[in-house]
């Protein structure tokens, strides 16, 4: 039986296979098992909530960059402070970034609550209702001309598309058939066996959702955010890593493998579905490799044995530039907060600096103002935080674009500092991937 290039996709059997056959799953399940083991090595961090807020901004930057709709990290930071550019296009991109941040935040909080109540949150994410909610949340904050599409129509926010579309050479399913395709997508992936199989399913579902192209625009953002949330709901990310960064860092490969999995079956040895089985396998393998790479990178970044020297580098730089009253005497107390994941009373923190009370009080105030510490009240306990300008020291190469932008937030000259830990080059994820 040969696959048929149909004029119109109107039946869910036309995007089979949704999963590789049983005999082809072995290597993919091994990769999923490797991901689970890698996740176990990611330690908790004292600055978890502050770091997660930073990572949400980073995720919004990278997913919008794939669409060519990103703004600079500094503009995202300004938008978070409700400072929008006078340039209409930049302001629109700022709103897109904020929408992604807010959607990711609210979704993760909802998932946490549902998990606490014993809900099957992974299965619930695989539904038309969830997809429509994601789309609506991502785009309801922009309006007017910002919603105008290339063909002159307006984006239908949270609604399935009402017209036929083609993406490159791929002709998406008829709009009248979308509910059937989505129902089949939800049934297969939402009911995948827990554990390694559900991780393989999450990777496969990303392509098949993009292939369905349920909305008139915004499908890439919805697909990527959906994959991020499924990984989160399965307890894999802890909010401390995301495949979105990896997809953006290997964008050419990401796009090429999505297109490759769009293809029709390549012959009798390429499965029995209408679409290519090998293309789907290649996509799943790539996605799992990206996830493993991101997890391993973040595990190294959060390694408590290395953080002291990185805190020291940040403090020394700020002290050398006489920035905001920061002093190296804060090192022991900051490292203690990171290593123990505790909070300290202000008097205890000051005593750990070894300074006199007045100088220590000034230092504590400077650290709070500069973002090295966070507190829930003016006189409350303090905890470890991640100052944006020290990102290059604390977590080198995590968000290089933000590291470069930080000089616009702080007038001091950029340090010639290179973090010792380096992420495995994206080019090594696949031996045939070109070097960055």
Q: What is the pLDDT of residue 385?
A: 92
Give the count of beta carbons closer than 10 Å to the beta carbon of residue 387.
Answer: 22
Whether the CB-CB separation of 103 and 225 falls below 8 Å is answered with yes
Asked whether the predicted pLDDT for residue 143 surpasses 80, the reply is no
3-state helix, strand, coil in the chain (%, to 5): 60, 5, 35
Where is the binding site, in residues?
Answer: 217-224
Mean pLDDT of 104-120: 94
- How confident is the model over 120-140, as pLDDT tens digits? 999 999 999 999 999 999 998
- Nearest residue to 319 via CA among 370, 354, 368: 370
Q: What is the pLDDT of residue 323?
A: 67
Please report, for the chain, the start and end positions of each structural domain, with discontinuous segments joined by +: 12-301, 304-408
Do the domains 304-408 and 12-301 match in fold? Answer: no
At 346, list the tokens.
Answer: 């202000």
Where is the binding site for ATP, in residues?
Answer: 217-224
Does the CA dihedral 291-294-298-299 come out positive or negative?
positive
List of residues 6+ apart from 331 with CB closer than 8 A: 308, 311, 312, 315
- Nearest residue to 298 via CA among 34, 32, 101, 51: 51
Q: What is the pLDDT of residue 409?
A: 53
Mean pLDDT of 161-180: 90
Mean pLDDT of 89-98: 94
Whether the CB-CB separation of 337 and 350 falls below 8 Å is answered with no
Question: Which of 54-68, 205-219, 226-240, 394-408 is predicted with the least confidence, judged by mean pLDDT?
Answer: 394-408
Asked whether the predicted pLDDT for residue 426 surpasses 80, the reply is no
- Helix axis angle, 219-233 to 48-66, nearest 10°: 150
pLDDT tier at 5 (50, 70, 90 boundaries)?
low
Asked whether the predicted pLDDT for residue 231 surpasses 60, the reply is yes
- How confident is the model over 49-70, as pLDDT tens digits? 888 999 999 999 999 999 999 9
Query: What span, in angstroms and rounded, lies between the C-alpha atoms of 166 and 148?
Result: 18
CATH architecture of 304-408: Orthogonal Bundle (1.10)
- Nearest residue to 373 via CA among 382, 361, 362: 382
Asked whether the predicted pLDDT for residue 436 surpasses 60, the reply is no
Q: What is the pTM of this model?
A: 0.88
Helices (H), 171-303: 178-190, 196-212, 219-233, 243-249, 251-262, 277-301
Mean pLDDT of 89-102: 94
| Angle (CA) 301 307 311, round 5° | 120
Q: Which of 70, 100, 206, 213 is catalytic?
A: 213
Q: Kindly report the average pLDDT of the chain as a whole number.
A: 89
Q: What burial letters (b/e) apply to 391-413, b meaning 16+ CB within 10 Å? A: bbbbbbebbeebbebbeeebeee
Q: Does domain 12-301 have CATH number 1.25.40.20?
A: no
Q: What is the pLDDT of residue 166?
A: 83
Query: What span, in angstroms and rounded, lies between the C-alpha atoms of 232 and 77?
Result: 24
Mean pLDDT of 208-236: 97
pLDDT tier at 419 (50, 70, 90 boundaries)?
very low
Q: Is 213 a catalytic residue?
A: yes
- How confident is the model over 184-196, as pLDDT tens digits? 999 999 999 999 9
Half-sphere exposure of 377 (CA within 13 A, CB side): 4
SS3 166: strand
Percent share of the chain, pLDDT over 90: 73
Write the DSSP assignment of 231-253 as a string of letters: HHHTTSSTTS--HHHHHHHTHHH
């Amino acid at each position: 039986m040969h696959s048929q290039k149909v004029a119109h996709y109107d039946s869910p059997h036309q995007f089979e296979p949704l999963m590789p056959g049983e005999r082809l799953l072995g290597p993919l399940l091994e990769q999923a098992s490797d991901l689970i083991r890698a996740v176990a090595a990611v330690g908790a961090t004292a600055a978890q909530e502050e770091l997660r807020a930073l990572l949400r901004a980073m995720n919004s930057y990278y997913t919008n960059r794939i669409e060519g709709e990103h703004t600079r990290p500094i503009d995202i930071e300004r938008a978070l402070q409700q400072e929008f550019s006078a340039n209409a296009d930049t302001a629109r991109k700022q709103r897109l970034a904020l929408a992604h941040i807010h959607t990711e935040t609210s979704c993760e909080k909802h998932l946490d609550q549902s998990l606490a109540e014993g809900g099957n949150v992974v299965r619930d994410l695989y539904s038309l209702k969830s997809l429509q909610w994601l789309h609506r949340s991502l785009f309801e904050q922009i309006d007017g001309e910002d919603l105008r599409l290339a063909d002159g129509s307006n984006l239908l926010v949270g609604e399935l598309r009402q017209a036929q579309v083609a993406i490159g050479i791929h002709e998406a399913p008829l709009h009248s058939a979308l509910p059937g395709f989505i129902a089949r997508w939800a049934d297969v992936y939402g009911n995948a066996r827990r554990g390694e199989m559900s991780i393989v399913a999450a990777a496969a579902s990303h392509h098949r959702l993009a292939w369905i192209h349920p909305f008139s625009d915004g499908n890439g953002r919805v697909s990527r955010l959906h994959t991020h949330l499924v990984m989160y709901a399965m307890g894999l990310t802890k909010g401390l890593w995301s495949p979105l960064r990896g997809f953006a860092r290997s964008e050419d490969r990401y796009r090429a493998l999505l297109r490759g999995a769009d293809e029709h079956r390549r012959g009798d040895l390429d499965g029995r579905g209408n679409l290519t089985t090998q293309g789907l396998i290649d996509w799943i393998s790539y996605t799992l490799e990206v996830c493993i790479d991101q997890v391993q990178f973040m595990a190294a970044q959060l390694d408590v044995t290395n953080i002291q020297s990185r805190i020291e580098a940040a403090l020394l730089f700020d002290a050398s530039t006489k920035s905001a009253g920061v002093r190296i005497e804060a090192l022991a107390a900051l490292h203690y907060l990171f290593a123990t994941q505790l909070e300290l009373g202000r008097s205890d923190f000051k005593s750990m600096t070894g300074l006199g009370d007045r100088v220590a009080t000034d230092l504590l105030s400077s650290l709070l103002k500069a973002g090295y510490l966070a507190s829930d009240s003016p006189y409350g306990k303090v905890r470890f935080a991640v100052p944006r300008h020290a990102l290059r020291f604390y977590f080198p190469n995590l968000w290089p674009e933000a590291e470069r932008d930080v000089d616009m937030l702080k007038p001091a000259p950029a340090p010639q500092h290179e973090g010792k830990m380096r992420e495995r080059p994206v080019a090594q994820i696949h031996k045939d991937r070109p070097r960055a």
